[in-house]
A and B are shown apart, each in its own frame.
Chain A
């Protein structure tokens, strides 16, 4: 196994802004070890979500290389990137991003079906994932019938259902009250305890410091990189 599951070198991301350009990520280097729980923090506009989208292959950097689990993602075609996201990555979005017409079971089973599993196997895998986040009794509820915290846990179940190598979470507690946020973070910590690599963006220091390592971004650059040794999984 490679020492790093994510290797990002000199990542640059620019956006057009009026007549000029807004450089959001400035030749940023980042390395993540397998099984690491990495929290990315920073002020609003510091580029933390943009960095997550580049690492999660939801966007293309203007320059720089991203290697995930030994695969140079720059070389992948659009369909290969889609397949790579399907098989190797999991996502948890700030607003849950569940499909409103699918119930919890179907939302979680969908990536498994896309991987070619039969409906029975996909649903069995989805039930396991939903039980893991404590929603075994909400299998047939539509998102509209769930609370925000429950929806976010369905989103986590969808992210872990296909056993991805890395989970990317973008402000997963931003829309939740503190009690529900604790439950969601607890789910992440349990997954991390099982060896899951997690990259989480959060602007809440109390949750960020529960990670193994906390990166602080400012103006498109890493300005802090703190390792919380006491959190390291044995």
Chain B
């Protein structure tokens, strides 16, 4: 204990009276190293997390109720909706009615009626515009035209991925409309029914499932697909903030809803490939983090080694006047801990008070995701702990190497 105390005595004075610029530079390097450790992997994970969050907020909600595997729709949907609404945690829900649709633009210009023309086949969804907006904020995703009103008739919203000018891709299996604008009349075919409708708005989201859809007001679509019984295809539910979706799911199961529909939390319903991607990017983040940790260790090693080598003579003097080697080693380890601690603290402040809020306010605009910075307090603390451990070792080794040298050679500088 006396050795540590005396090591601290020496380290404190060395730090206090060393060049302020040198200390600032070393701390700056440590801060960058810490940020490299946390931010790069955090953005990688955040890229996929952003995509996952987008699916949750723009499509599935906290709870996703869908048809049983052997059914085409959720039986007794009004009763299911009423049960969900009666849950104390429910904030909003939207019942959707899905079907298949073929959308045809410029159909009057076709040479032969049997020609394919400028058409696309996709999923059509009937929504209550207000309910859907409450759950997914769909109205805010309009990039051209206007959102639907509950009393709109023969008006549709078209996903941007169905339009060539937003998605320049065409194949035998997936086509896009070449020439369709807001206000254009297009012909829709749903089952055996054909109608002319007006494109009221175009939506663009980070979720492909949504951006490839056509939206009708539910009351009209139900008539077109023959669902006058109000039985929907899916229900997206948002819960009050802080609610554990599993509790709501269990409550619905107890109420017998699972007999009528599949009840899943967002985590349950999340596609497997998204989970795999999350794990893959997390692994990539850890690999990059490990490289960052190695870089940090080498940085500290070099800093302490240069510091010790340039002070070799004084280390010799300390040994010469009777200061034990371990005291001198502690002094250097404590200095390296100081550099790591200050660098880590500044790095943490930057992560949690500058970068995270910044990326929440200004996500990185990836094509399929609003990239955020994922840095949990626990994960960041673990990385800080690892950096600390690496620093301890990287500070100790060079000090040990220099301290082991012959005392007289060190004093005489030979």
Contact = CB atoms under 8 A, between A and B. Distances in A.
B327 A114 contact: yes
Interface string B317-351: 11111111101000000000000000000000000
Contact of A111 (B13, B14, B322): B322
Main secondary structure of the interface of B (DSSP, over half): helix
B407 A58 contact: yes
Contact of B322 (A59, A83, A142): A83
A79 B324 contact: yes
Contact of A99 (B317, B319, B325): B317
B21 to A, nearest CB: 16
Contact of B411 (A87, A93, A114): A93
A132 B321 CA distance: 20
A12 to B, nearest CB: 17
B314 A99 contact: yes
Given A97-B317, A106-B13, A114 B408 contact: no
B2 interface: yes
B322 A97 contact: no
B358 interface: no
B207 to A, nearest CB: 61
A86 interface: yes
B239 to A, nearest CB: 60
A228 interface: no
Interface in A82-103: 82-87, 89, 91, 93, 97, 99-102
B20 interface: no
A110 interface: yes
A156 B230 CA distance: 100
Contacts of A158: 321
A7 B125 CA distance: 104
B254 interface: no
Contacts of B16: 101
Interface in A140-155: 142
A24 to B, nearest CB: 13
A99 B318 contact: yes
A207 interface: no
A82 B314 CA distance: 15
A189 interface: no
Q: A interface, how many residues as a size bin?
A: 20 to 34
Given A113-B6, A114-B6, A97 B323 contact: no
Interface in B1-33: 2, 6, 9, 13-14, 16-18
Contact of A82 (B6, B9, B322, B408): B322
A20 interface: no
B323 A114 contact: yes
A18 interface: no
Interface in B386-414: 407-408, 411
B162 to A, nearest CB: 72
Contacts of A82: 319, 322-325
A116 B2 contact: yes
A82 B9 CA distance: 19
Contact of B321 (A91, A106, A116): A91
Contacts of B318: 99, 110
A4 interface: no
A59 B317 contact: no
A84 B319 CA distance: 12
B408 A53 contact: yes
Contacts of B407: 58-59
Contact of A100 (B2, B314, B324, B325): B314
A48 B71 CA distance: 104
Interface in A163-220: none
Nearest to A53: B408
* Residue among B2, B321, B324, B325 with most chain A CB within 10 A: B321
Contact of B13 (A86, A91, A93, A101): A101
Nearest to A101: B17
A192 B130 CA distance: 101
A101 B18 contact: yes
A7 B242 CA distance: 83
Interface in B101-130: none
30 contacts: A58-B408, A58-B411, A79-B324, A82-B319, A82-B322, A82-B323, A82-B324, A83-B322, A83-B324, A85-B320, A85-B322, A86-B321, A86-B322, A86-B323, A91-B321, A97-B313, A97-B317, A99-B314, A100-B314, A101-B16, A101-B18, A110-B321, A110-B323, A111-B322, A113-B6, A114-B6, A114-B323, A114-B324, A116-B2, A142-B17
User: Which 3 A-B residue pairings sit nearest by Cβ, starting from the closest?
Assistant: A86-B322, A101-B17, A85-B322
Interface of B: 2, 6, 9, 13-14, 16-18, 313-314, 317-325, 327, 407-408, 411
Interface of A: 53, 58-59, 79, 82-87, 89, 91, 93, 97, 99-102, 106, 110-111, 113-114, 116, 142, 158
Given A82-B322, A85-B320, A97-B411, 18 more contacts: A53-B408, A58-B411, A59-B408, A83-B324, A86-B322, A86-B323, A87-B322, A97-B320, A99-B314, A99-B317, A100-B314, A101-B16, A106-B13, A110-B321, A110-B323, A111-B321, A114-B324, A114-B327
